[in-house]
Chains A and B, each alone.
Chain A
Amino acid sequence: MQFNRGKKIVISVCVVFLFLLAPVYLGAYNLHLLTFIVFNSVLGISLRFIMLCGSLYLGHTAFMGIGGYITALLVVKLDSPFELALLASAAAAMVLAIILGLIVLRLRGVYFIIVSIALVEIIRLFVTWWSPVTGGTAGVYVPKPTIFGIHLSTPAHLYLFVCILGLITFFVLYKLEESRFGVTLKGIAQAEELAAAVGVNVTNYKVAAFSIGSLIAALCGAFFAFYMQFIAPQYVSFLTAVYILIYCIVGGLSSIWGPIVGAAAMTLLSEPLRGMTYYEMLSYGVILIAIVLLLPNGLISLPSMIPELFKKMSDFMDRSKTLFSIARSRTEKAKK
């Protein structure tokens, strides 16, 4: 199927409207589910954007925590308007990401992964310790936000907020990946020394990707705090970072659609298991193992894998037929 540019635009506009009108035709429960699918997709695509330059990364929840706490505390303790708090947390996350990135992104491979885990632990323990301001393990209660004079009081409002965040994120990251910037990042992933040798400033590119991804994570964290109306240190966890990574790997890392497919599949799957943490963990683990062993390029490679699977199956049938006929001729010979 080939679409020309006009048709593509019409279809995508229709899909966007279908999504924006979801509160009209979905019930409260399904809307909640869809909110989380969109939210997890945004986290997934921003994490994938950071990972474009080659290494796995587990520090995404650290920046979610930073965004969530800064926005919530500014609104609750200082009565600042929500828009301003959101802007402040985004700016803080960006500045911190640039400073940390200049230090951390020089590290390669395993060192980078372990440092990203340490980052999550530092933020979690810091907000636990600083209880006069952050409320410690008891957390902070957050009111419903008001943005540009609109009080976001219903789930539908919050859904539209995360949808708009998702659309902007998707569009910006998609365009960035197609651009010269994204191509350079992929080049760095494939051959870092070569990229440096032909004059690419590797560190600057990495820091730019890192800070953009972390900014989106901070916005997601702010949204999460206001959706749950609560924020506590246990939301800043290593396990959540692993879950976001799982959305990317289960969906597939090769395209921006991968994390979206992965987030939708895993969110829908874990919904019946909610409240039973251990079955949720067990199924996430088993699915991840199965995907790594059987579908190394993720769920988005499934359609292109079907012919191959069929071919494998017919090969297997042919081979067993041959084996069967050989065995039969031998038994007949033996009878004679």
Chain B
Amino acid sequence: MDIQQVVQIALSAITLGAIYCLFALGLTLIFGIMHIIQFAHGEVYMFGAFAGYYLINIIGINLGFSLLIVMLVIALFGMAIQKLFFSPLIGKPVATLAMSFGLLLALQGAALAIFGGKEKMIQTPLNNIVRFPGGVTTTYHNAFIVGVTGVLVVGLYYFIYKTKYGRAMRAIEQDMDTAALMGIAASHINLLAFAIGCGLAGIAGLLVGAVFPVEPIMGGGILLKAFAIIIVGGIGSLFGAIVASFIWSFAELFAGFAIGGDLAFVVCYAAVFLILVFKPTGLFGHAVQ
């Protein structure tokens, strides 16, 4: 393995890590606020990718506007899911989990029935290849993915640490009952958390649709990886999710290069196992019930 290959794999890992980061942030945010493991998060991501495909390839709206529309539409979709299916089950953890499995199956089945199993590709105007000296290549779209992710992460941090609603969210995460006594409307904050989490997943879906194929089963693989990521980072910790996304993408690609894809994942999941044995709250997390 020479230096050029290392740089090439590192560039891919940064792009992949950015996608995992958007996905895992939504998952860990929803968990932190509502204590729900959202198994249907991969389906939300898949709907984001399909929405992007129809907006860009079929209707012909440009990439920037499509990004905004997808974010808003998928955020509304997330709020609808929260209001209809999760808010009647607050305080019943087993029923909530069962509900998220039901949504996973129903949404994926519906997508297979509506869109069909054929793979699609989102056409992006940024597909030109960039060549660096030394033979390392990337595309403008990869740079775009990393840029959008950076802007969104900074925006999310600003929202959570600098605004009134962000402070309310942190209060709910720390202690729901006390926060409610202080006059914070928990039901509104729950809706907001779902809207942000699903909006991020929708954008991740759109961005990935120009690199990997868009198909109804695309949510399954990333969902399992994102679970591993939020476990490593500590469930509910935003900073942990960001760091762990990049740890995971680097580990996945470098181990995949060294020993082949399947075995690399066996090693990665086994590492997650070991982390849990020695540090059950993850690298940056605190204990949860």
Interface residues of B, count at CB 8 A? 45
Query: Separation in Å of the B288 CB from the closest CB of chain A?
Result: 7
Q: Is the CB of A277 within 8 A of B112?
A: yes
Task: Answer whether A281 and B235 are a contact pair too, CB < 8 Å, given A118-B228, A128-B262, A293-B88.
Answer: no
Q: Is the CB of B289 within 8 A of A285?
A: no
Report Cα–Cα, A111/B230, bound state, in Å. 10
Kindly list chain B residues whose C-beta atoms are within 8 Å of the C-beta of A292: 89, 95, 98-99, 102
With an 8 A cutoff between CB atoms, is B85 at the interface? yes
With an 8 A cutoff between CB atoms, is B185 at the interface? no
Stretch at the interface among A87-95, A176-184, A238-246: A238-246
Q: Is the CB of A125 within 8 A of B262?
A: yes
| Cβ-neighbour of A284 out of B92, B105, B110, B228 (below 8 A) | B105
Report Cα–Cα, A283/B99, bound state, in Å. 14
Task: Answer whether A282 and B110 are a contact pair too, CB < 8 Å, given A129-B260, A129-B263.
Answer: yes
Q: Is the CB of B109 within 8 A of A280?
A: yes
With an 8 A cutoff between CB atoms, is B166 at the interface? no
Q: Is the CB of A113 within 8 A of B97?
A: yes
With an 8 A cutoff between CB atoms, is A126 at the interface? yes
Q: Is the CB of B289 within 8 A of A106?
A: no
| Cβ-neighbour of B103 out of A279, A285, A296 (below 8 A) | A285
User: Number of residue pairs across A and B with beta carbons under 8 Å?
Assistant: 125
Query: Separation in Å of the B50 CB from the closest CB of chain A?
Result: 15
Kindly list chain B residues whose C-beta atoms are within 8 Å of the C-beta of A293: 85, 88, 99
With an 8 A cutoff between CB atoms, is B273 at the interface? yes
Query: Separation in Å of the A129 CB from the closest CB of chain B?
Result: 4
With an 8 A cutoff between CB atoms, is A335 at the interface? no
With an 8 A cutoff between CB atoms, is B224 at the interface? yes
Interface residues of B in 86-108 (CB under 8 A from A): 88-89, 92-95, 97-99, 101-108
With an 8 A cutoff between CB atoms, is A122 at the interface? yes
- What string of 1s and 0s marks CB contacts (under 8 Å) between A96-134 and chain B? 000000010011111101110110011001101100000
With A279-B113, A287-B102 given, name 7 new contacts (CB 8 A): A109-B289, A111-B276, A115-B276, A242-B104, A284-B105, A288-B101, A288-B105
Residues on B facing A (Cβ under 8 Å): 31, 37, 85, 88-89, 92-95, 97-99, 101-110, 112-113, 216, 220, 224, 227-228, 231, 235, 260, 262-263, 265-266, 269-270, 272-273, 276-277, 280, 288-289
Q: List 25 A–B pairs whose Cβ atoms lie within 8 Å, in order of A's numbering.
A: A106-B280, A109-B93, A109-B289, A111-B231, A111-B235, A111-B280, A114-B227, A114-B228, A117-B224, A118-B273, A125-B265, A125-B269, A238-B220, A245-B98, A245-B101, A246-B101, A253-B94, A279-B113, A280-B109, A284-B109, A285-B104, A288-B98, A288-B99, A288-B105, A292-B99
Q: Which 5 residue pairs spanning A and B have beta carbons closest together?
A: A285-B106, A282-B109, A285-B105, A278-B112, A281-B109
